[in-house]
Every structure is written in C-alpha cells, then in structure tokens.
Amino acid sequence: MTEVAGHVSQMRALLAQVFGPGRPSDKDLEEQQNLLPAGAPGSGDACVSLVVGTLLAAASLVSVGVVVFSAFLDTWLWPVLGVLLLLGHGFLIKATAATAATEGKPNAWDFSHAALVCEALAYAALAPTYFFRSLVVPWWWWNAVALLLLLPATVLLVCLIYNNIRSGSRGQKAAVPGYVMIAATCLLVALLLIFAGNVGIQTLSMPLFLSRDVLERVGVVRTFNEFKGGEGDSSISYQTCDLATSKCSLGDFARDEWTAVRPGGSTSCMVGDFEFLVYRGDPKKVLLHMHGGGACWNWVTFLLDACTRTAPMTPSGIFNASEPGNPFYGWTVIDVPYCSGDIFGGATENFWILAHQTASAWKKQSGYANMDAVMKWTHEQFGGHAGDDGHGGHDAGHGGHGLDRLSSLVVSGESAGSLGLQIWGSDILTRLEGKYDPKGTYFIGDSFLGVMVDDQDLLQRQVIDYWRLCDSGVVPPDLSPKCHPDELFLADFVEDTLQKFPDVRYLMLSSKFDMVQKAFADMLVILDDLWLIATQGWDKVPKFTNASFYEEVSEHLKPYSAYPQFSAYLVDSNQHTYTCFDIGCIDMATPAGPLNNCSSPDVGERLLPWLTPDETTQPLYQCYDLTRDSPMWTGPYCNRSLPWVAGKCHSRPGVQCKDY
C-alpha cells in the first residue's frame, strides 16, 4: 500500500508540472476518486463493466440476426434479446460513468440514460404480449414500440457524434463499439416491426436486401398463396353451423347447398377462426379435400406470406360438386381449408408479430387439431337414417347422421394439402374403417411430393420437428419409433399407407418442373445456409434447377412404384397444382402440357379422366414423351425406371378453360 501511495503522489506531482495551476488539484482528484465504485483503484471495475457490456451488446445484435434468419427458431429468444440489450446498455453506462470520473472528462454518454429508459419502456410494452398469449393489442401498439426503439437509436447516434467531437477520453471511446451495437439492435428491431406492419414497405425494401434469385422464389410463393387466399368469391355467404351450440348433423343441412361448420375447441387459424365447408349431396359418395397454401417455419416466412393465414371458403375445380360438368357433381363434399401453415399436422404456437392487425402476437399452428375436428365430425355422420327425399338422400330437418356406407370415397389434397394427405392417409382410412368400400376408394395427391435439394432430407426432418408432428398425434403408431432417432420422413407416411391399405388406389400428380415446389425447397436451403451465402456467395448454395428437380421427382416416385395400387402422372410444365382449376382447364391438361388439349393422339391420357377412374380401373403411369429418346431430364424425357405406359388422347371439341 505504501508503494501504491508513493506512485499516486508522483503522478499528482507530474500532472501539476505538465498542466499547471489551471488543471485539477490534488483536492479535485480526491473528490473525483470518491465518485468511483467502492474498491475501484480508478479503472478496474470500469474495464470489467466495459467488456461485459460490449459482449452483451454483441449478443443482443446477434440475437436479432438469429430471430430474423434462423430457419428453425423457438420463440424463447425474444425475451432473451430484451434482457441482453438492457443489461448490456446498463453495464456500458456504468463503465463510461466510471471512466469519466477517473479521467476527469465530461461524460459524452450522459444522454444514454434516456435511451435506456426508452428501451426499457419498449420491452415493458413487448413483455406482456409475449408472456400473456391471449393478450390482444391494437395495431398502433407495435408502432408505438417501434418509435420507442427508434428514439434510443437516435440518442445514441447523437452521443456518438458528440463523443468524437468533444471528448478525447480513450476510456469513453472504448465504449463506442458497444453503444453502436446497442443502437443497431434498437434500430433493427424497430425496422422489423415497421416491416411487419406494412406491405408497401416490404415491397420497397426487399429488393434492397435480397438477391434477384431469392426475390424470384419469394415472388413465386407469394403469388400462389395470394391466389389461394383470394380465389373465393367474397360476396358468397354460407349458412353456418357452430358445433359449440349444435351437433351440426349432415342430415339437418340443406341438400345441394354449402354449409360452413365451425368446430371451435382447440381448432384455430393463424389469423381468425377455423371452419370447413360441407356440400350435402349423395350420402354414399364423399369427396374429402384438403386445400393448399404454402408453409411457414419462422417469422420471416410468416411475414413474407409463405403460407395462408386465414381460411378462405373456396369450393372450386373438382371440389365444386354443384357444377354440372364436374365428374363429382352431386357428391357430398367436405372441403377443408388450410390456414395453419403446417401441412395439417402441427401442434405449436409461435411469437410471430403481425404489426398491422389488432390481435395476439402468438400464432397457432393447429393443423392437427383442425383436421382431427373434421375427421371426428365426418365419423359421426355415419349410421343415422333420415327420411328419404326421393333422390337417394335424406330430407333436411329430419335429423340423422346423413351418410351411409360409402360406395365411393375420394380423399384429395393439392399443394400443401397433398402433403397433408400423405401424413393423414393412414389415419383417415383407419378412422373410417368399415364405412367405405375399398374398391371405390382412392387418393389424389396434387403437386407436392416433398423432394429436397441435393438430397438434404435432414431439412425436411427439421421442419417435422419444428411443427411437432411427432407430438401432435398425426404419426401412426407403426411410425412412432422413427420419431426420436430422427429417421421419420414424409415418404414413410406414404409407404405406411400403401402397405396397410393395398386395395386403396393412390394417385400422384406433378409437373416435371413445378416452380412452387422448387421455390419452397430452395427457401429451406437458403434460410439454413445464410452463413454460407454471406461467406462464400450465393453460387455456393445448392439450389434446384429444372433438371435436378425432375430427377429428384423421379427418384422420389421410384419406391412407390413397387406397390400395384400406386400410379403417377407427370406434366411437361412448371405449373403448380391442377385440381383446383376450372373443370375445362383440368380436361385440357395432358402429359404434354396444361393446355395441350390433345395436340396429337400420342401425348398421353387427358388428366380429368385419369383423376376419375371407375372402381375396376387402375390408372396408367403417364409421362410425355414415350415415342422418342430425348436428352435426360428435359421436358419430353421419361425416365425408364418408372413403369410408364403410352396413353391415348381422345379429341373432345368445345373444351374451354376459364382460369388462364
């Protein structure tokens, strides 16, 4: 201690000689030293606070990046981000105050106290929306939070300028990186909230941050989901039956009309309530359809409209049983909308802020609960006997369940609904066992196979885990052992159905170069490989080309061809989905193209009759072009590892397509 005191006395004498009488006296230095934290010799505690604060600030900034760019993120990181930001800022304030007192310099960061107050208020406003999941806040709440975060970013910027102009303190300048990261974190979170609440800003800003290739894929996905979300006529209204107040028996519905059933309970859309449509027709013929509409697996995909959030009521294409030209005209149709973004199998909840709506920040992905409610309602419609209306049906108002043992049952799905069909196939048939004739039953999977870029099936597995398919109840018991060793994939569900139900035909339809399937597969890889993009460039990330996608499709279908009840139909096109379009459009499609309309007899069978075989017919494998040898994985190429059969196309004059 005596030696330290001697050094201090020598330093004071040196300061007096260098700076003269106008500089701090011994008495002044003693008073300033009294302001330091207890036990600080001048810089030790300040140094520790500076290092800790800077590291916490860096962690908060990294957390923002993870929230935005992580392909698979649990929601716990939001409150962690707030804690890191506030603690980091607090330690930096402590460090700069201590160094200012030690060095006898004005504290250039004095105003950062006000910034910290704004940050604390912002996260005090965010915290209830996170910890109270049912809390509904108005749209302006998020704008207020964004403003509160913009203020500290501005204040810290002013302090930074002042620090560089007025202060020569090395200790305070050492805090600059930490404060810059605090300001950047506040600014980025504020901009994210603004981005989340304004479609116009999204449209203007995305070209600034995303490459043309990424924008192209995002555009493809958004365009299809806008079509799925808006294809229904909003002027049409339906009678609604609420299962909370009624049994909603099919026999009580008006015949040849659509009725919306609202199951309530644990069902939910990500935005709004879930309900499904029922068309009461022939009690012995049922078409159960699962709609498509993309997929969401993080906040970014949700904001970019990669999945439909609401339940559009859209009976169209082969699902519109009220259209006379439809082969399913007069059938009973159960039309299941898609609004959970989880291929009808999820059971999770995510903190996904949608800043332009008055709602809870928590968005439920309740695909399993939604489809489970549909299947429970369907099962309950069997076994009752209402009065005969003279047309083989039941009179409305006479009660009863409304369905007899089915001579014909078709279960279909398009886009994400095709994946829903794949994971639900075995369960649907098991639940309805004994209530349908297997010979008159078949599946239609339209335009989503689940192929992955460069055989990266592990990404598919990560999506399955993110949506918690293994915990929701959708996984059949035979496949459950594959869940936790991470060995369960979508193809396992299909093969499980094929093995258990050999008498039920399984039809799969896809374009050879489907642009939406390619875009989703590429988005999965892009969001998982952002570090690779940043360090090595866009070209290093594996992505689908037309040829590689077509090759993966062929490889994906090959194991299914071992089952005699399976058939495939490939179209030389990049179109996504067929069955939801106008009946005339479906009838014009052949393996040679969506609007080919039998350009020659050898192009293959028309799509519409292929989708509607009688109970004795197994549809042929159809591909264009079997009459010549073509370069591999081009439009007219057909891989011989699949049992393609040359089909004949029969001319039909007067066929028109209204949807193109």
Asked if the structure places residue 425 within a domain, the reply is yes
- Lowest average pLDDT, out of 179-183, 184-188, 233-237, goes to 233-237
Q: 564 and 471, same structural domain? A: yes
- When pLDDT is cut at 50, 70 and 90, the band that residue 32 belongs to is very low
Q: 549 and 449, same structural domain? A: yes
Rounded Cα–Cα distance for residues 396 and 483 (Å): 46
Asked if the structure places residue 251 within a domain, the reply is yes
- When pLDDT is cut at 50, 70 and 90, the band that residue 23 belongs to is very low
Q: 51 and 28, same structural domain? A: no
Place of tokens 């264009």: 624
Tell me, rounded to whole angstroms, the distance of Cα 412 from its chain centroid: 22
Residue 28 has a pLDDT of 42
pLDDT reading at 398 higher than 60: no
- When pLDDT is cut at 50, 70 and 90, the band that residue 354 belongs to is confident
Asked if the structure places residue 650 within a domain, the reply is no
Q: Which amino acid does the sequence have at 437?
A: D
| Domain of 411, in residue numbers | 217-585+607-611
Q: How many angstroms separate the Cα of 21 from the Cα of each of 24, 25, 219, 402, 584?
A: 8, 8, 71, 103, 98
* Angle (deg, nearest 10), helices 515-528 and 212-230: 130
CA Rg value for the chain: 32
- Sequence length of the chain is 660
Mean pLDDT throughout 132-149?
Answer: 90
Q: How many angstroms separate the Cα of 335 from the Cα of each of 340, 579, 580?
A: 15, 13, 12
Rounded to 5 degrees, φ, ψ at 304 are -85, 10
Rounded Cα–Cα distance for residues 20 and 507 (Å): 94
Q: 489 and 364, same structural domain? A: yes
Q: 459 and 410, same structural domain? A: yes
Asked if the structure places residue 210 within a domain, the reply is no
Q: 246 and 189, same structural domain? A: no
Number of structural domains (the chain) is: 3
400 beta partners = none
**Mean pLDDT comparison of 25-39, 202-216, 356-370, highest-scoring range:** 356-370
Q: Which two tokens stand for residue 289?
A: 């359809």
- When pLDDT is cut at 50, 70 and 90, the band that residue 399 belongs to is very low
Greatest CA separation found in the chain? 116
350 beta partners = 363
Q: How many CB atoms lie within 10 A of CB 564?
A: 10
Residues with Cβ within 8 Å of 485's Cβ and at least 6 positions away in sequence, in order, are none
DSSP-derived 3-state class of residue 150: helix
pLDDT cut 90: percent of the chain above it: 56
Rounded to 5 degrees, φ, ψ at 331 are -75, 160
Mean pLDDT throughout 480-497?
Answer: 93
Asked if the structure places residue 209 within a domain, the reply is no
Per-residue pLDDT of 150-167, as tens digits, reads: 999 998 888 877 766 665
3-state helix, strand, coil in the chain (%, to 5): 50, 10, 40
Q: 98 and 26, same structural domain? A: no
Mean pLDDT throughout 434-450?
Answer: 96
Could you say which DSSP state residue 359 is in? B
Asked if the structure places residue 654 within a domain, the reply is no
Q: 242 and 161, same structural domain? A: no
CATH of the domain at 401: 3.40.50
Tally the C-alpha atoms within 13 A of residue 532's C-alpha that lie toward its C-beta: 10
Q: Tell me the whole-structure pTM to 2 decimals.
A: 0.85
C-alpha closest to that of 107 among 98, 115, 116: 98
pLDDT, greater one: 29 or 552:
552
pLDDT reading at 21 higher than 70: no
C-alpha closest to that of 338 among 365, 363, 319, 320: 365
Per-residue pLDDT of 281-330, as tens digits, reads: 999 999 999 999 999 998 888 888 889 888 776 677 888 888 888 999 99
pLDDT, greater one: 35 or 495:
495
Place of tokens 């994946």: 419
Q: 192 and 63, same structural domain? A: yes
Q: Which amino acid does the sequence have at 603?
A: V
Q: Which amino acid does the sequence have at 189?
A: V
Q: 567 and 418, same structural domain? A: yes
Per-residue pLDDT of 585-622, as tens digits, reads: 999 999 999 999 999 999 999 999 999 999 999 999 99
Q: How many angstroms separate the Cα of 518 from the Cα of each of 451, 481, 523, 532, 593?
A: 9, 30, 9, 20, 18
Q: 221 and 167, same structural domain? A: no
Q: 22 and 112, same structural domain? A: no
Asked if the structure places residue 640 within a domain, the reply is no
Asked if the structure places residue 651 within a domain, the reply is no
Strands 276-279 and 239-242, by their bridges, are unpaired
Contact 568, 302 (CB under 8 A): no
Rounded to 5 degrees, φ, ψ at 399 are 75, -160
Q: Which of 611, 627, 645 is the last residue of a domain?
A: 611
Per-residue pLDDT of 507-558, as tens digits, reads: 999 999 999 999 999 888 887 776 667 667 777 788 899 999 999 999 999 9
